[in-house]
């Protein structure tokens, strides 16, 4: 009986001394206690941005067949469906025959804005497909740096007046 008691005491003391000499085990115990402590979550930052929503689903206006000579215009209309004011800083066309005009005023969330595009038909016979690149603070699909609009059509040769003798 004394041997069993002595063996038990030696076992308990041996276990305690091995834990005492391994500070990592105390560290693990402390980390487990911290893990069980409830830590309040960090506040979620509200994402804010401006965003275009154009009435043209493919961002394209087709002028169709038009006679050579006059300038043709089209007004692209869009809404800011974002949460911040939408500010267009630049609108640039792919060539000099196309000129975009935009408002420098911010378009507030839920409000409508416009971009007027004018195409010069004089001297530009045949098919055309031009791009207008918008630089703004708006969220752009696919993470592109600019938003792209298009105008297209066919410029037909104008008929000269036929004079009757």
Asked whether 126 and 102 are in contact (CB, 8 A), the reply is: no
**Cα→Cα distances 135→91, 140, 148, Å:** 6, 10, 9
**Cα→Cα distances 98→24, 82, 94, 95, 103, Å:** 72, 29, 7, 6, 17
Annotate 125-164 with b (16+ C-beta within 10 A) or e (fewer): eeebebbbbbebbbbbeeeeeebebbbebebeeeeeeeee
Annotate 68-80 with b (16+ C-beta within 10 A) or e (fewer): beeebebebebbb
Answer yes or no: is pLDDT of 140 > 90: no
Q: Of 89, 91, 144, 84, nearest to 116 (Cα)?
A: 91
Render pLDDT for 42-93 as a digit per residue (tens, 0 to 9): 555 555 788 988 888 889 999 999 999 999 999 999 999 999 999 999 999 9
- The reported pLDDT for the residue numbered 109 is 94
Say what the pTM is.
0.66
CATH 2.60.40.10 assigned to domain 50-156? The reply is yes
How far is Cα 12 from Cα 27, in angstroms, rounded to an integer? 21
Render pLDDT for 84-117 as a digit per residue (tens, 0 to 9): 999 999 999 999 999 999 988 999 999 999 999 9
Domain ranges for the chain, please list them. Answer: 2-35, 50-156
How far is Cα 121 from Cα 127, in angstroms, rounded to an integer? 11
């Amino acid at each position: 009986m004394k041997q069993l008691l002595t063996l038990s005491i030696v076992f308990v003391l041996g276990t305690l001394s091995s834990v005492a000499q391994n500070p990592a085990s105390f560290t693990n115990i402390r980390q487990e206690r911290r893990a069980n402590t409830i830590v309040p979550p960090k506040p979620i930052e509200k994402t804010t941005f401006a965003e275009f929503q154009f009435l043209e689903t493919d961002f394209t206006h087709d002028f169709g067949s038009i006679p050579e000579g006059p300038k043709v215009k089209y007004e692209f209309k869009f809404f800011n469906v974002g949460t911040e004011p939408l500010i267009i800083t630049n609108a640039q066309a792919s060539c000099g025959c196309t000129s975009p005009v935009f408002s420098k005023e911010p378009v507030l969330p839920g409000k409508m804005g416009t971009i007027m595009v004018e195409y010069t038909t004089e001297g530009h016979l045949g098919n055309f497909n031009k791009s207008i690149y918008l630089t703004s603070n708006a969220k752009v699909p696919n993470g592109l740096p600019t938003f792209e609009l298009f105008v297209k059509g066919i410029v037909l040769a104008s008929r000269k007046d036929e004079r009757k003798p």
